[in-house]
Structure 1
């Protein structure tokens, strides 16, 4: 198993991401150039490199340590004085992989000691900070629109450190559309998304979402000093960040105002939207909580939550990381993710959309064509349809009848020529059920869920515009295809200076400025119709784009919708 997968992951995935995160060559003179911004709490001093000012690690909340661990964020009210923001800031404690798992997970522990996941440094609980980047020469009178970035990572890992927006900002300046980029740091893993009845009773659920919300409030209070316009904020995220974007739209049943003003006016979701989920006190949530309590040495005490808060950092970190992680056999059956708690998320996200309990703003939403391939690399023991059914049933939906899962699996072609990576014939079948499992996981978490979200949103808010896409620009990549998170290479970093990166960045920047991706784009970029017009996607290839009917795998989608009350993560 190691021999088959290690070269694949290291060469096709980790190396490509490593290329996306180059460390810029900086001379001593460049490192010495600084700029400063005066905000209400002090003066923040940033670095200036290549025409972009960077201000990293600006605190917006009290350190969530000690008695504030596993508590909602507390706004920082103390002064900063003159604050050194020339670095990239801290990262919150990470869950790179489960500390208990199978051989592949253990192997990945060595493999991912390379850029992708190990790019973050300075892990600390005192991590609730903002990173702001802007074009050099921006002043407090510039009133530029603002991208508010929420990083992805399966709600287990990630940091603003991993996302340098310099190339995006330079592109905006080149187009005559300069903007501010603000990235929020939020708690992940068991630090930010621990669940269980004790968590619910204490009001300690969905802490990572509350961190993000406080970051949005910080932008409203401070971004004008950086030259940003707080009335022109677009929230944007990828993967868990995209799911978080929708969750911010749905927070408190759609309440997105602060001091009488809207926190954002537009949304972009790359690979993620609503995820139908069990509540905070569900059975699987309680199992995870009880495991964390046991691993932290808190079993048998009267107040287990107080015990977790008082545990030393390493003990607590190892305890919350002792449950299955996304880089494991359990895959996207996530141990930690936002869950309905009756207040912060009043109901499962799909129900909030259907009832119109979300902030309906213009939005762009789409997926990579092969979202599920990466998450299906760990299950090579699945060689038959019955084993595939049992895996999905036991790992994802143990509370439903097995026949319900049989019905789902039967909507997917069992042929070796079908499945994901799509349109690759007999190739890429790493194990007999790989392509079929990849198709199912990609659809249920990302691709078909996106379509269902758009349908529900259109039904309750028919006049709110939306645009949708399918990215196929990595077609032909062995095993992975256009894999989950490959848009970070093309869209965010524009590593390949081709039509796809040019077009998507242009669409996004135009959307930031006008809430329409078509306004201001060059004549050589195809007009992108709203999704409601003909239910079409913009399909992106390396050197072209085309419109694609959003009706593929319709039988699978209808089955998922019919069983939506059962298929809860």
Structure 2
């Protein structure tokens, strides 16, 4: 299932020849590209982690603290991470970060940083298609300039290994670790780009893809200390790349409004390389590698963004879809407060995705290994990692494709619960209950119709962490302020960021977050074992490892496989996946990035308590509902399949579905797309009914729950529902999943004056949050006050060109109250005592 749309936000940057901007990080001169027409400067394709190849394949990202060259050409994006059917260059060597900033920024500018995490169902996506130019331009125009940052993280089985072996390998949630690494890079480096790490807001392909990109205003002094906007793209954890998210509009608007910022994005590993699944991945401690990529990118920002003029205390992480989920997961465990000061999550939160243990996806991992030719014999053996680490990159992509094609679920490789000490330590509900989450401000919203030995889980989450770490280390060189990093992401990117709320010290990497649609609690909370079949399918598709598929000994083989073998494995896993997404974040247990069910994490209070924006689109469920559905029996069968094997008794599951069908009657006027009366668009009335159920169970109810939880904890958040009509979409989709993202990037398909005005208004809200942790700074376009979400006043903003206004968060209250009262049934696992 491809979630990236061809219309998104292409990067139209490189026109004309002018003196190239330069930033010094250590002994290396980073040479970027001047964009005179926009008065912005771009630095892209910067590695924030060591290439995740060979022995480093299916392992957490290793933060790259220096480049070992006198000069580094950063005029273009790096390749996207390995994924099928990409329309851009891809590579396993893909963990790169990108920075877009206003021109002529002094290094000490200390601008806020908006850090973007793209979505794509954890299986596809790339940072390069998200052009932040409109955001940067508007930030300048309104007098609050910022820096836009995005990055690549590993996708599919490389970012989210599944199954028991992945849990054993401690290889869960690698993409989350990619995000953290990117944020850490921002913390270390964004100051050099003129960014402020305290104000940080998440295409060729290659395995060596962990690069970071920085876009900043031109001529920024190194001490500019601008806020940093850190973007995490989505793509279902299986596709995506930082290069397609051009932050020029964001940087331009930040300059125009007088609040300049630096835009950073990065690549994280995707599919099985970012999210290894199954028991072996858990054993190898290789879960959630893409989450670790994100952390590494954030750490890079913390270490380096100062050199770019960024302020490491002003990093805001934002992501969409999978990118938002990854960022939401970071709220659960990683001390996100150290990497970002805020977050914007487009649609997804850590509680949005299914909260899986890695064993659930054993079959996905087996399918991946099967598709890697040199490791196919090891598929299913629990001894695949060594083989995979020795495989050629050329072998990896066939494995990814094999896993995706055979995945029994929509997403075969995604974040997984990796247990105590992991990035996804437990169900979000438990993390929230314990109070062990990053309590930073955030914006969160939906579209109107959103329908354990090797520890190798969640590698893509680790890619995100790596990118954030890079931002922390380096964004100052680009004029960013590492204390002003805001992470924002959409769809899968939002889920990744939401997961980071659960465990990762997100507060250290970002000060806020914006999540487009997804929260950590939006997806089902899987253990890696659930996806054992997906991992088996992946390994089966890797020719040299196919014989190891299903053996619990696949990792060594996979690490030795050629990259050329990996993609067939990915394709095999995707094609055979029993669910829509074979690879996504998985619960990796205590100490992991996704430590436990979100409900438990929230109950314990062990989550990142940073401000955030979170929202949904009006019709979240339509894009995930089969148009052919035409009977109540089909709806019932779909719901049973979605929540099986059940976490409760079969009787309780079936009785709950009976109640759901009563609460959502077969009345077209009440269905999704909403506000369309009795029109069925030539489809059965059951389509609108099913879409309403899916949108509420997976998206709207979970956005509401997370904001209610944050309000009770005293964490500021702002919620939205995007209801702007989308004339370019097929009518039955309504205002579908991801519709609002292009508006924040200044590129709506509808170019009418009212639509463009809404786009400008939304950029102002986002830039205002990235620069001041409040969407209401009074600068830029005159716009309604967006009130924060409180215990005594639960209201969100309706984003619509005809009527942008605050509305009570009470729509379909009876239905969503019921959904949130039985979290174990829907695998949200939020209520105290639910297991």
Among candidates 586, 594, 603, match of residue 354 of structure 1: 603
Separation in structure 2 between the aligned mates of residue 280 and residue 325 of structure 1, nearest angstrom: 22
Matched, 1:565 2:812: no
Separation in structure 2 between the aligned mates of residue 523 and residue 320 of structure 1, nearest angstrom: 46
Question: Which residue of 2 is the match for residue 466 of structure 1?
Answer: 717
Q: Deviations over 1:26-69 (max 9, x none)?
A: 55xx1454211111251111111121111111011111111211
Separation in structure 2 between the aligned mates of residue 116 and residue 391 of structure 1, nearest angstrom: 35
Task: Go from structure 1 to structure 2 and tell me whether the alpha carbon gap of 1:446 and 1:164 turns closer, same or farther (over 3 Å shift).
Answer: same
Matched, 1:416 2:416: no
Q: Deviations over 1:399-439 (max 9, x none)?
A: 25233333333321311222211111122445322222222
What is the SS of the residue equivalent to 1:263? strand
Among candidates 63, 70, 76, match of residue 58 of structure 2: 70
Among candidates 640, 646, 655, match of residue 393 of structure 1: 640
**Which moved further from structure 2: 312-321 or 141-150?**
312-321
Matched, 1:89 2:338: no
The 5 A counterparts of 1:82-481 are 82-95=71-84, 121-252=203-334, 256=338, 262-275=508-521, 277-282=524-529, 284-296=530-542, 297=546, 298-299=548-549, 303-324=553-574, 330-331=579-580, 334-342=581-589, 343-344=591-592, 345-376=594-625, 379-399=626-646, 401=650, 402-429=654-681, 431-432=683-684, 433-459=686-712, 461-462=713-714, 464-474=715-725, 478-481=731-734
| Structure with greater proportional strand content | 2
Task: Go from structure 1 to structure 2 and tell me whether the alpha carbon gap of 1:505 and 1:387 turns closer, same or farther (over 3 Å shift).
Answer: same
Q: Deviations over 1:101-155 (max 9, x none)?
A: xxxxxxxxxxx9xx99999921110000101000111110211111011111111
- Asked if the contact 2:44–2:74 (Cα under 8 Å) also holds between the matched residues in 1, the reply is yes
Separation in structure 1 between the aligned mates of residue 610 and residue 513 of structure 2, nearest angstrom: 7
What is the SS of the residue equivalent to 2:222? coil
Separation in structure 2 between the aligned mates of residue 205 and residue 279 of structure 1, nearest angstrom: 12
Separation in structure 2 between the aligned mates of residue 409 and residue 336 of structure 1, nearest angstrom: 29
Separation in structure 2 between the aligned mates of residue 232 and residue 162 of structure 1, nearest angstrom: 24
Question: Which residue of 2 is the match for residue 518 of structure 1?
Answer: 776
Aligned residues: 532
Task: Go from structure 1 to structure 2 and tell me whether the alpha carbon gap of 1:330 and 1:217 turns closer, same or farther (over 3 Å shift).
Answer: same
Separation in structure 1 between the aligned mates of residue 533 and residue 698 of structure 2, nearest angstrom: 22
What is the SS of the residue equivalent to 2:302? helix
Separation in structure 1 between the aligned mates of residue 13 and residue 128 of structure 2, nearest angstrom: 19
What is the SS of the residue equivalent to 1:126? strand
Separation in structure 2 between the aligned mates of residue 556 and residue 307 of structure 1, nearest angstrom: 48
Question: Which residue of 2 is the match for residue 106 of structure 1?
Answer: none
Matched, 1:53 2:303: no
- Aligned-residue Cα RMSD (Å) equals 3.0
TM-score, normalised by the number of residues in structure 2: 0.60
Separation in structure 1 between the aligned mates of residue 688 and residue 772 of structure 2, nearest angstrom: 40
Separation in structure 2 between the aligned mates of residue 243 and residue 237 of structure 1, nearest angstrom: 8
Separation in structure 1 between the aligned mates of residue 823 and residue 73 of structure 2, nearest angstrom: 49
Separation in structure 2 between the aligned mates of residue 410 and residue 456 of structure 1, nearest angstrom: 28
Task: Go from structure 1 to structure 2 and tell me whether the alpha carbon gap of 1:325 and 1:541 turns closer, same or farther (over 3 Å shift).
Answer: farther
- Asked if the contact 2:128–2:243 (Cα under 8 Å) also holds between the matched residues in 1, the reply is no
Separation in structure 1 between the aligned mates of residue 660 and residue 708 of structure 2, nearest angstrom: 20
The CA deviation at 1:221 is 0.6
Separation in structure 2 between the aligned mates of residue 201 and residue 527 of structure 1, nearest angstrom: 50
The CA deviation at 1:398 is 3.4
Separation in structure 1 between the aligned mates of residue 12 and residue 681 of structure 2, nearest angstrom: 38
Separation in structure 1 between the aligned mates of residue 622 and residue 550 of structure 2, nearest angstrom: 42
- Asked if the contact 1:474–1:542 (Cα under 8 Å) also holds between the matched residues in 2, the reply is no
Separation in structure 2 between the aligned mates of residue 59 and residue 178 of structure 1, nearest angstrom: 25
What is the SS of the residue equivalent to 1:354? strand
Instruction: Extract unaligned runs of 5+ from structure 2.
Output: 87-123, 132-151, 153-202, 340-468, 473-504, 829-835
Task: Go from structure 1 to structure 2 and tell me whether the alpha carbon gap of 1:405 and 1:312 turns closer, same or farther (over 3 Å shift).
Answer: farther
Separation in structure 2 between the aligned mates of residue 335 and residue 117 of structure 1, nearest angstrom: 24
The CA deviation at 1:350 is 3.3
Separation in structure 1 between the aligned mates of residue 643 and residue 282 of structure 2, nearest angstrom: 22
Separation in structure 2 between the aligned mates of residue 348 and residue 183 of structure 1, nearest angstrom: 28
Separation in structure 1 between the aligned mates of residue 520 and residue 551 of structure 2, nearest angstrom: 37
Instruction: Extract unaligned runs of 5+ from structure 1.
Output: 1-8, 98-111
Question: Which residue of 1 is the match for residue 68 of structure 2?
Answer: 79
Q: Deviations over 1:154-191 (max 9, x none)?
A: 11111111110111111111101110011121111111
Question: Which residue of 1 is the match for residue 445 of structure 2?
Answer: none
Separation in structure 2 between the aligned mates of residue 25 and residue 195 of structure 1, nearest angstrom: 38
Task: Go from structure 1 to structure 2 and tell me whether the alpha carbon gap of 1:302 and 1:418 turns closer, same or farther (over 3 Å shift).
Answer: closer
Question: Which residue of 2 is the match for residue 549 of structure 1?
Answer: 808
- Asked if the contact 1:238–1:270 (Cα under 8 Å) also holds between the matched residues in 2, the reply is yes
The CA deviation at 1:456 is 1.8
Q: Deviations over 1:234-253 (max 9, x none)?
A: 11111111112211222347
**Which moved further from structure 2: 519-528 or 541-550?**
519-528
- Asked if the contact 1:239–1:270 (Cα under 8 Å) also holds between the matched residues in 2, the reply is yes
Q: Deviations over 1:367-397 (max 9, x none)?
A: 1111121222xx2442111111101212443
- Asked if the contact 2:10–2:130 (Cα under 8 Å) also holds between the matched residues in 1, the reply is no
What is the SS of the residue equivalent to 1:198? helix
